[in-house]
Amino acid sequence: MTATRKTLNRTDLAPFAHVLGHTLHDVTRLRGGSKKGVYRLTFQDRSTAVAYVWSPDEDLWDAGPADPRDPFSHASGLTLFSAAAHRLAAAGVRAPRLLHADPTHSHLPADVAIVEDLPGGTLEDLLDDDKAAVPKTGTEALERMAVLLDTLHACTGPRFGKVAVVDNGGSSYGGSCEAVVAERALSDLDELPARDPRAAAAHPQLADAVGTLAARIQPRTGPLTLIHGELGPDHVRVTPEGDLALIDIEGLMYFDAEWEHVFLRLRFGPHHDPLRTEGLDEDRLRLYALATHLSLVAGPLRLLDVGDFHDPEFMRGIAEHNLQQALSFVERT
């Protein structure tokens, strides 16, 4: 099990302020960032920036090295972040602006990026309380989110896979998006019997459901859609001016748009209607929904096994809800 995180301090992060021409006044660890440390740097002139630190000590998943040619491998690190930041900038989709990148480990034994600080909270905060003291209401923010999605999903790539791989001419493992998703779903499913007797009892039926849904999908040709991959309202920051910016972008990839929309539907819940789009493949949506539920059982339970997550009951709740949703597919297929 990963040891409790060690919080970095002013001494650790002062060199990065100096690189930006500032003197560091204070450091605050920000909530979230299960794969990296996220710190707000406050400078002597009261301006701020945010430090991302990708270190084994900061990664609660204890995942070890990952092969980026696997589209669903552990999405962490400066290489993935930098490629995603540049691709989003070219697409006209806002993300925190990269101010400085240090892949050389010259100041810390870790990859580090310094990005602009975007105050104002997340879209999740705004939707939870649309009376929050921001210039735009929740409805207006959702309208902007729909435009952002249209802009993001209008961008395409020649093959499926992480942006850092495809944009450098590489290819990913697997023959198709649906094949990769089905394989991942079965892998997640195989983890569950040892953790939950209900999953053990339903394992054959769930495996059959994955196979049945995958067999219904017709092959698709043509370019793949640029997607965030885990696009919940907690991964969208809302500036005081009402602008939206994507965060936790390391998983940016070219893939079926249906994968993004399943996650959007799950995470936005009652606020999802303005984000709906036409022309999606219902067979892909069904397979991807089951795969997402299985991932959201296996992932949280895995995190609780190896990590130091600050709210274990929250993670158990996610796993329980998604197990119930996955089991419901047994009756529907």
Measured distance CA(14)–CA(5) in Å, rounded: 19
Give the model confidence (pLDDT) of 51-102 as tens digits. Answer: 999 998 888 887 667 899 999 999 999 999 999 999 999 999 999 999 999 9
- The predicted model scores a pTM of 0.93
Say how far apart CA 190 and CA 183 lie, in whole Å: 11
- Among 65, 66, 69, which Cα is nearest to 166's? 69
For the purposes of burial, counting CB atoms within 10 Å of the CB of 333, is it exposed (0-12), middle (13-18) or buried (19 or more)? middle
Residue 122 per-residue DSSP state: B
Q: Which string of DSSP letters, residue by residue, matches 9-39?
A: -HHHHHHHHHHTT--EEEEEEPS--SSSEEE
pLDDT grade for 3, boundaries at 50, 70 and 90: very low
**pLDDT beyond 90 at 135:** no
10 Å Cβ neighbour count for 121?
17
- pLDDT bucket at 146, cuts 50 / 70 / 90: very high
pLDDT tens figures, 165-203 = 999 999 999 999 999 999 999 999 999 999 999 999 999
Q: What are the pLDDT digits (tens) for 264-319? A: 999 999 999 999 999 999 999 999 999 999 999 999 999 888 766 778 899 999 99
pLDDT over 90 for what percent of the chain? 81
CA distances, 60 to each of 5, 73, 231, 300, 320 (Å):
8, 15, 20, 11, 20
Query: Would residue 84 be called left, alpha or beta, if left means φ above 0 and alpha means ψ between -120 and 50 degrees?
Result: alpha
Domains and CATH numbers, the chain: 10-116 (3.30.200), 123-332 (3.90.1200.10)
- What percent of the chain clears pLDDT 70, i.e. is strictly above it? 94
Query: Given this model, what pLDDT does residue 63 score?
Result: 64
pLDDT score at 133: 45
Residue type at 126 in one-letter notation: L
Q: What is the structure's pLDDT at 61?
A: 82
Average pLDDT, the chain: 92
At residue 261, φ and ψ (nearest 5 deg) are: -70, -30
Mean pLDDT over residues 1-14, rounded?
79
